[in-house]
Structure 1
Amino acid sequence: MVLPLLKLATLALKTLSKPVANRLKRQAGYAPRFQQFIVSFAQANHRITTRMQRSIYGHATDVEIRPLDEEKAVQAAVDLIGEVFVFAVAGALLIFEVQRSSRSEAKKEEVRRQELEVIKQRNENLATEVELLRHKLEELEQLARRQGLSGIFKFKHANTEGINLAKPA
């Protein structure tokens, strides 16, 4: 019951993170210092991605890359911030799910280990009992060899005589 509710909660959190990311994107463009920071960040990101694309397509990479205008830079940076937020939420949920799953597996493994320990203990007890019975059987065989078959019969006969004597009295 808990597992489906937990999965539903993680799905809801992922879904809610997108509007939060959009709000972050809108708010990011309003603060002047933050806007200056994200413009420089967006320009650096633009230079890196352009060089990577040129390298992948086999074009010259030593060509000067024209910077983005400020509005496009702000939009690119806030889009990146939104995507990073959604990715961070998804990553955190993934880590949480993996940890929860590993704890569950650890509990199951502990139960299996305890059950195996009980089985081993029971096996040792049975082995001890078998060994004890083997010794008793050897003692009985030795006793029978010493007294012979008549000794065994006398033993039975003595028990039956004791019972007969007890009845008349």
Structure 2
Amino acid sequence: MLPLMKLGTLAIRTISKPIAARLKTHAAVHPRFRAAIIWMAQTKYRWATQLQRRLQYGRAVNVAIRPLDEAKAIAAATDFLGELVIFSVAGLVIMYEVNRNYKSEAKKEAKRKQELEALKLKDKDLEKEVESLRLKLQEMEKQLQTRTSWLEYLKSFLFQQASQQQKSA
């Protein structure tokens, strides 16, 4: 899994480099885009510098932060946008994988539920069959008792007849 992840990261970075280069060319051509990208770079630089100073000194320090020059600002902003593209694509890939795994698990769960329902139906059918067989067994036992009592009656009757014939003979 790890080599595939590294390969995917490398592919995303390779794809994002031309995007960053194109952003640099657009920054040189379009003045509004250039202004927006420079503003973004300056804002990111100020925030990063302030955060670094807060972490270094443990409190806010009111020192003027010198702005970046235009070339550095454009380079920093395009690098930032390139990284943003990388993380956005990586995030989309992760979201896709999570969604795919969720759907796969949902299918597995639905299959398990279906199998469970089939087992429950089979269990109910078996219970009905056992009950039917139990009732048949009770009926057969009743018939057997009737026949046994009938055979005993017949034996006693025949025994009486035989004993009477012996007495008369």
> Aligned AA for 1:54?
R
State the Cα deviation string for residues 53-98 of structure 1 (Å, max 9, x = none): 1111126522111111111111111111111011111111111111
Q: Which stretches in structure 1 are left out of the alignment for 5+ residues? A: 1-6, 155-169
Percentage identity across paired residues of the two chains: 37
TM-score normalized with structure 2 length: 0.75
Q: Which stretches in structure 2 are left out of the alignment for 5+ residues? A: 155-169
Q: 1:117 to 1:69 in 2, by over 3 A?
A: same
Q: Which residue of 2 aligns with 1:122?
A: 122
- The SS at the match of 2:67 is coil
- The SS at the match of 1:29 is helix
Structure 2 distance, partners of 1:52, 1:15, is 27
Q: 1:143 to 1:88 in 2, by over 3 A?
A: same
Is the aligned partner of 1:58 residue 2:52?
Answer: no
> Aligned AA for 1:67?
P
State the Cα deviation string for residues 81-136 of structure 1 (Å, max 9, x = none): 11101111111111111111211221122112111111111111001100111111
8 A contact 1:28–1:78 mirrored in 2: no
State the Cα deviation string for residues 124-165 of structure 1 (Å, max 9, x = none): 10011001111111122122223326549x9xxxxxxxxxxx
Q: CA RMSD in A?
A: 2.7
Structure 2 distance, partners of 1:100, 1:92, is 12
8 A contact 2:12–2:90 mirrored in 1: yes
* Pairs within 5 Å for 1:125-140: 125-140=125-140
**Of 10, 27, 30, the match for 1:29:** 27
Q: Which residue of 1 aligns with 2:18?
A: 20
> Aligned AA for 1:84?
L
8 A contact 2:24–2:74 mirrored in 1: no
Q: Which residue of 1 aligns with 2:92?
A: 92
Structure 1 distance, partners of 2:24, 2:43, is 21
Q: Structure 1 residue 16: deviation in Å?
A: 4.6
Q: Which residue of 1 aligns with 2:75?
A: 75
TM-score normalized with structure 1 length: 0.75
Structure 2 distance, partners of 1:151, 1:20, is 103
